[in-house]
Amino acid sequence: MFLEDGVIIENKNMGDNYYLMKVKAVKSAVAAKAGQFYMIKCHNGIRILGRPISIHYADQENHMLEFYYEVIGEGTKEFTNYKIGEEIRLQGPLGTGFDTELKGKKILVVGGGMGMAPLKYLVESVKNKNTVTIIAAGRDVGAVRIADNYHFPKEDIVFATDDGTVGLKGNAVDAMKELLSKEKYDIVYTCGPHKMMEAVARVASEHNMRCQISLEEKMACGVKACVGCSIKTKEGMKRVCADGPVFEAEVIVDVNPKENTGCSCGK
């Protein structure tokens, strides 16, 4: 984990309330792993706590980090005003990321809405040694526009939208079930709304597939110093900032349809 002042190289609107920020981070970018995150400090001193933002992509050779964020509060709203050349305080990379040490596997990546943000770097980390299929799902075309920023052939991405404006009219699980009726996969990675991940994990369990999920929780410190992001798991209480945000699905989600199938994270 590093604490450094990165330099903003790009900070542009990607449509609606979505933004892409690129930051030069000489010290920490080389240590970044798919699924980890950074605490980004606001310039306005009133906002004492950093904002946890997942790593969208890391160009380790050029010491560049990408953060794809949505404006949902005053902190992220402030980010939109930052200019090229400004410094920004970064703390990270933090947390436990995805298992990317796989070879010769068939991988299914399922993203829902802003849950697709940390999946770009995941795909980049596994696609050269494995066969990868991506499901990009959201409420409408704006919610899946993030896929345009992937280094992956768009024609090879399976889209699903609630309103049917792009791809299958339906949700991520509908698309997943359709794929699994034709193909077999070794592992599923997923990030998105908790209910979506719960359903993805349940379907993965039914097909005897390993499943890793990336959780999103409100965080205060990001370094396991408080209990703000504690969740209940089958192995006891865990802190998303350090024990996660990536977990094995069977630890976090009750995928037994005969029992309570609510997300055990308590959100």
- List, as residue ranges, the binding site for [2Fe-2S] cluster: 221, 226, 229, 241
For residue 25, how many other CB atoms are within 10 A of its CB?
A: 24
As annotated, the binding site includes 51-54, 75-76, 221, 226, 229, 241
As annotated, the binding site for FAD includes 51-54, 75-76
What is the Cα–Cα distance from 14 to 48, expressed in whole angstroms?
A: 27
DSSP secondary structure string, 9-41?
EEEEEEETTEEEEEEE-TTTGGG--TT-EEEE-
SS percent in the chain: helix, strand, coil, step 5: 25, 35, 40
What is the Cα–Cα distance from 31 to 46, expressed in whole angstroms?
A: 30
Structural contact between residues 120 and 56, judged by C-beta atoms closer than 8 angstroms: yes
Q: Which residues contact 183 (CB under 8 A, 6 or more apart)?
A: 106, 133
DSSP secondary structure string, 122-182?
HHHHHTTTSEEEEEEEESSTGGGGGGGGSSS-GGGEEEEETTSSSSEES-HHHHHHHHHTT
Q: Which residues contact 38 (CB under 8 A, 6 or more apart)?
A: 28, 50, 52, 53, 55, 65, 67, 90, 91, 92, 93, 94
Task: Give the torsion through C-alpha atoms of 98, 104, 105, 106, to 10 deg.
Answer: 120
